[in-house]
Amino acid sequence: MEMDDFFALTAKELSALSAEELQAALAIALSAMTAETYDAAVIDAYLCALEKKDPMPSFSQLPLRYPSKRSDTP
């Protein structure tokens, strides 16, 4: 797959990739982009496809852990 192919993938093609393949392709796309060629739509397409494959937990699903107050502190 050539560099330009990473920028021309359709949503259907992205959805056919595994989460690991999406992560690798996103890393390649990001490293190939420069300040002049950066395309937020391409990055958003990868992130959207990755979110569908392997969603990040919402903050409400993450356990909150606060340090317990020590009894020997004033």
- Could you tell me the end-to-end alpha-carbon distance of the chain, in angstroms, rounded to an integer? 63
Place of tokens 């392997």: 54
Q: Please give the Cα distance from 36 to 9 (Å, whole number).
A: 20
Cα angle, residue 36 at apex, residues 7 and 39 outer, rounded to 5°: 35
DSSP state letter for 1: -
Q: pLDDT tens digits for 26-70?
A: 999 899 889 998 889 999 999 999 999 988 777 666 666 766 666
Tell me which residue of 61, 27, 31 sits closest to 46, measured CA to CA.
27
Residue 52: its H or E element: helix 40-53
- Position with higher pLDDT, 8 vs 9: 9
